[in-house]
Structure 1
C-alpha cells in the first residue's frame, strides 16, 4: 500500500517536472508566480477568484496565464477579449466545452459532426421562427406558472426556497413543446427530463477536475464511461418512448390523410424531414440523443438568467411598481386569452433594461472558455499554441466604467432604457452570449422567454426575499449560480 502511494507520488512529481521544464517556442503570456508545485494557483482560483485575478491583472497586464488543476490556462481581459470572439478560425467555444462535458460519451448514438452542427440546426429550425412560436411559448409559460407557483400561493404569502428548480421546469415547458411537440410535452416526465438533464449536466461542471493534471476533462470522462455518473441513460430511455409514440402517430396520420395531413410544427418533425429518416428503420436512440444535445444549450443559460432576474426583482422591490405600470400598459395589447402579440416585446423597455442589468451582473468572473484551433499571435505580440485553453475575464469587462458607465458595480436596472440597447444585443461591453460569427443564436429566444415569464409574474404577484436583504449569487470558483435563498410570493391585490 505504502509502496503504491510512494510510487504514485514520484510519478506525479516527475510528470509535473517534465511538463514544466519544456521550453516553449512561443512568446507566451507571463505565467503568474506561485510557490506550491502541482497545486499552483488552484486554491486562490477556487476560493478567492475575484481578488486573486484582480491582483494578477494589476501585476501582469491584460493577458496572463495561471496554473490551475494541473493545467496552464490563459486569462484574457477586456483589451483583447474581442480577438477571441471575432477570430472563429483560431478560437472555438464548443471544443473547450466538450472537454468539460464529454458529449461523445454521454450521447454515443450520434457523431461529432452532428454535435458541431447543433447551432446551425437550431438557428434554421427554431430561432428563425420566434414570431411563429410566440403564442405557444406564452401559453406554456402561463400554464407552467399556474402549475408550479399559482397552485401553491393561496390567500397567504408562500415561501419558495431555491426558485431555480421551479424556474427550470417552467422554462423547460415551452422548450419541450417546441422541440418534441405539443402532445408529448403535456407529460410531466417529458418536462422533468428536459429540466433534470440540464441540471444533471451542471453537476459535471461543478465537479473539481482533479485529474486534469494528466488529461483535460479526464475525471468526467471516467465518471461517464464507467457508468458511475451518466445522466443520459435514464433521460434517453424516457425520450425514446415519447419519440417512438410520436413517430408512429405521424406515420399513421400521413398514411391515412396523405396530402391533407396536418404537419406538426416542432424540431422533431424538422429533424425527421431533414435527415429523410426511413420509417421502417428508425434509429430512436440517435433521435433521443439529438434532443438531449439541444437541451443544455436551450435551457441552461435561460434558466440561470431567469432565476437571477427573479431573485434581483425580489431583492429590489422598490422597482416593482414602475415595472408593474409598464406591464399593465403592455398587457392592453393582449387578446381575450391573455396572449400578447410578438411585437409587444418591443414595448417592454424597462423590463428589458432590468433583465439586461441582471445579466450584466450575472456574477461570473471568468466565462466563455475557448480552445485554440491553431497557433495564434495576439495584436500585442503574445502567442498561444494550438490546443491551449483561454478564459475571458468577463468581470474585467462588466466592472469597467468606460464600458458600463458610472457605478458599474451597482445594480441600476433602468440604466439601459435611454441607450435603447436590448438585452439580446451583444458587443464589447456585453458578452454573456459570446460574440462574433458564433455568438449564441438562441439569445433572442432566451430573452423573449424570460420577458414573457416576468411579464406574468409582475402582473400577478408581489415578491420579496425572505431575508429582506439583497441576495447575491452563489460562487463556485470563478463561476456564479443563482441564489438558493427563499423568496416570498403573494398574489397581487387588484
Structure 2
C-alpha cells in the first residue's frame, strides 16, 4: 500500500511539473483528457482530421501537446507570416532535435548548414547545364539496368527503392564523379544510407514524455557499444574516393596551372581553403557527402515514386504526355538538351501537380529563435516553441485551386506558365522564402528526365489494376509498396 501511495504521489508531482505553462497572449490550447500525453495519439493517428477539427473550433493559430511538449499549429492564413519573418524562425533547430546527426557523423552538420545550402545552390542547381548530360545518362543507365527492353511485361517491386537508386546514380556522379559512380557499391550506399539512418532515428520519442533530452540519450546508447547504422556505407565512400583524391592531388602537383578540375563536389571540397592535401581527412569528406545524401536522396526518390504512381493513376493524361514527349524527341533527333526539356510544359505541369499532391500534412516545422514571435492577430509564441505548418491547407486552397481542389488536375499550370520548382504561398512543398530547398531545381530535372524516357519507351500499369494510395506515418506520406508492371511501348 505504501509503495502504491508513493507511486501515485510521484505521478502527481510529475504531471504537475509537466503541465503546460503558457505565457501571456498565447494561442488557445486545445482541451485534452490525458495529462502529458495530451493530443499525441489524435495527432499521429489521423493528423488531417484532427487539425481540421481544431481549425474549425479554435481558428489559427492554436496550441496542442505532442509527446508532453506544447507546439503551435498554423495553416494557410499565417504560414506566409512565418515564412516572411525568416529571421525569427529556424527549421534547423527542429531537425537538430529530431534527427541528432552529430551522433552518427561525429560533428553537427547543421552548424554549417549555410555552407551546405550554398554548395547545393551553386554547385548543383547552378550548374544544371553542365550536369545535364550526366544526369540523363545516369537515368537511362538505371532504367536499362532495372527494367531493360521489356519485350515481355516485367514486374518491378519496391518502387521507392527503385527510384532511390535512380536518384542515387545521378547524385553519386555529381558528388564523387564519373569514376566512383560506376561502382555498384557506391550507388547502393547513396541509395540506402538515408533509409538506414531513418530507421535508427525515426523511433517514436516516447521518452520525451519525461524529458526531451532523455529520448536523445536513449537513441545514443547503441553508439556506446560501437553501433553506427551508416558506418559500412561511409567505409565504401572512403574506399572509393581515396584513390580518386590521391590521383587528383598528384595530378595537381604535376600539371600545376594546367590541371583541369573535375566538375563534382569532391573537387569542390578539395578546393576549400581548409583542405589539407598532405593529410587528407577522409572522414570529414565522407561526412560532407553523407549529409548531401541525407538531404537529397530520400526526398527526391520519394517524389519520383509518387510521380510514377500519379502517372499510372491518371490514364486520361497518357496520350497527351506521350505526344508532347514524342514531338520533342523528334525535334531534337533523340538528343535531348536542357532547353528541349524546358519546352515540355505539360510534363512540367504534371510534375508540379504531383508535388501538390505529395500527401504530407506538415512540410517545414520551425522553431522560434528570437525572444518571441507575435502574429498579426496578437497571439505570441515564446522562444524555442515548435511551430507546425499545416501545409495541406495551402496546397488544397479552394480560393486558388477551386472547390474541387483535391482533384488531380494534371495540366492546370500549363496556361499559367509556372515551373514545378517555383514556390509561392500556396505551393510550399519546397518550403518558402530564403530557406526554400536549394536542390529543388535538380530534383525537378531528374523527375522530368525520368518520366520523359519512361513515356517514350514503356507502358506502365499497376499489378492489381487498381490505383494504390499512399500510406501515412503520422503527418507524413509514404509511396505505395504495390508493384508496377512495365511493358515495352509498341510503335
Matching of residue 16 in structure 1 with residue 12 in structure 2: no
Q: How far did 1:43 drift?
A: 1.6
Report the Cα distance in structure 1 between the residues aligned to 2:4 and 2:255, rounded to whole angstroms: 70
Report the Cα distance in structure 1 between the residues aligned to 2:297 and 2:308, rounded to whole angstroms: 16
Q: How far did 1:197 drift?
A: 0.9
Task: Give the secondary structure class of the aligned counterpart of 1:344.
Answer: helix
Q: Which residues of structure 2 form unaligned runs of 5+?
A: none
Report the Cα distance in structure 2 between the residues aligned to 1:345 and 1:308, rounded to whole angstroms: 20
Change in Cα spacing, 1:53 to 1:205, as seen in structure 2 (3 Å) is farther
Matching of residue 397 in structure 1 with residue 391 in structure 2: no
Q: Which of 437, 440, 456 matches 2:437? A: 440
Q: Which of 286, 289, 293 matches 2:287? A: 289
TM-score for the superposition, normalised by structure 2: 0.94
**Which residue matches 2:311?**
313
Alignment of 1:187-266 (within 5 A): 187-204=183-200, 206-216=202-212, 218-219=214-215, 222-224=218-220, 226-227=222-223, 230-266=228-264
Conserved? CA contact 1:333–1:341, under 8 Å? no
Conserved? CA contact 2:361–2:392, under 8 Å? yes
For residues 374-431 of structure 1, give each alpha carbon's deviation from its aligned partner in whole angstroms, at most 9, with x where no partner exists.
Answer: 1111111111111110110011112221022341111111111112121101001100
Task: Give the secondary structure class of the aligned counterpart of 1:183.
Answer: helix
Q: How far did 1:491 drift?
A: 0.8
Report the Cα distance in structure 2 between the residues aligned to 1:402 and 1:9, rounded to whole angstroms: 52
**Which residue matches 1:304?**
302
Alignment of 1:270-285 (within 5 A): 270-285=268-283
TM-score for the superposition, normalised by structure 1: 0.93
Task: Give the secondary structure class of the aligned counterpart of 2:32.
Answer: coil
Q: Which of 357, 361, 368 matches 2:364? A: 368
Q: Which of 458, 461, 465 matches 1:468? A: 465
Task: Give the secondary structure class of the aligned counterpart of 2:365.
Answer: strand
**Which residue matches 2:404?**
407
Q: Which residues of structure 1 form unaligned runs of 5+?
A: none
**Which residue matches 2:346?**
350
Change in Cα spacing, 1:256 to 1:429, as seen in structure 2 (3 Å) is same
Report the Cα distance in structure 2 between the residues aligned to 1:58 and 1:226, rounded to whole angstroms: 44
**Which residue matches 1:54?**
52
Q: Which of 105, 108, 126 matches 1:107? A: 105
**Which residue matches 1:45?**
43
Conserved? CA contact 1:139–1:339, under 8 Å? no
Change in Cα spacing, 1:5 to 1:319, as seen in structure 2 (3 Å) is farther
Report the Cα distance in structure 2 between the residues aligned to 1:465 and 1:85, rounded to whole angstroms: 39
Task: Give the secondary structure class of the aligned counterpart of 2:234.
Answer: helix
Moved over 4 A (4+): 2-13, 109-112
Q: How far did 1:138 drift?
A: 0.6
